[in-house]
Structures are given as structure tokens and as C-alpha cells.
Amino acid sequence: MPVTDSPATLAPEANPPTVTRLRRRPDFLAAADGRRFHTERLTAQGRVRDAGEVRDGESIAGLHLGFTITKRVGHATERNRIRRRLRAAVAELGPELGAVPADVVLIARRPAIDAAFDTLKDDLRRAIPAVAKPRGPNAHPRPPRPPKPGAAKGRGKGPPTSRPSDRAAAPARAPSATSNACDGGPDGQ
């Protein structure tokens, strides 16, 4: 049966809301500053997007999900299995969750690998609406996180920086009489 371009199929209300992926680090960090919801199998962090928010020159709608599975959870094959299970659960719940205008990051825990699939779906049904609640009228936004001591801007891939204050505070050591350095001593060499 051929697909027709009838007005019913082209109307925006006919298309279910989509669930897309978060891909950029600033989006993950913004979600981390929002609400949190914890279960035994995962932690959800999220924030509600503003109505007119634009990303990459386009207005954005629907739910945007990011997945984080750290190396503490297990080996690469186990982490990938957890990621696939979470994506499958989100795909099944897509029509239920897609209308939420939020950015959500799901942080998986080890028990997610053996959990029943229905349990994962129940966790997602509870977690995503919990972190996607708009803040109350009197709620204050979280203050920005202070930088870690000694942390420089960037991703930490560069060479370590020297701290002159630490070197200036240490006293200079005199050479030891029993040092192994060759100073022309009487050992015959």
C-alpha cells in the first residue's frame, strides 16, 4: 500500500514527539545541574528547557537523552549491554516520554545489567518525569559549581603545570656525603 501525503499524515499533531540523544558536553553539564532521581539501577539528572531555546540554530522540542556508563560499572561489553538495554527501554517508552521538553542524562549502575526489562522501564517512567518537573516559582537556581583546586580550563590533556609557590617554599638540599654522584672521590674512578 503506497504512502500518501494526506493532511492527516503531515499534521504536526499526528507525529509523536521524538526522543533524541544529547551529544555535546555542555548539554550533559547543564543537565547535571538540574534535578536528580536515584534508583538502584540508575540515576537520572535533568533540566527543563526554556520554551524558546535554540540549539545549533534550530528550535528544539521533545526529550533529549544522554547515557553515561562509567568504567566502574564493568568491562566494555557489559557497559555496551547496559547501554543497549536502556536504549531499548527508551524506544519502547518513546511515545509516553517524548512530549517532555527536557534534557536528561541517565547514569547507569551495575544492577542494570541483570534487572528485569520491565523494571528498567518502570524506573524510566518514574525518573524522567521526576527530573523534568519545572522548578517552583520561588525556587532559586543552583549556584554554579566552583572550580576544583588546581584545575585549569580545558579537559586536562595538556602537560602538568608547575607551581612556583611550591618550589619556592621547599628549602634547597645540600649534597650528601654518601651520595652516588661522581665528584672525583677516592674510589679509584
Model confidence at 153, pLDDT cuts 50, 70, 90, reads low
Smallest CA-to-CA distance from 101 within 31, 43, 42, 37 is with 31
- Sequence ranges of the domains in the chain: 20-131
Better pLDDT: 43 or 175: 43
Smallest CA-to-CA distance from 144 within 29, 7, 48, 40 is with 29
CATH class of 20-131: alpha beta
Rounded Cα–Cα distance for residues 85 and 91 (Å): 10
Flag whether pLDDT at 189 surpasses 60.
no
- pLDDT, tens digit, 9 for 90 and up, residues 43-66: 999 988 877 777 776 667 778 899
Instruction: Read off the pTM.
Output: 0.62
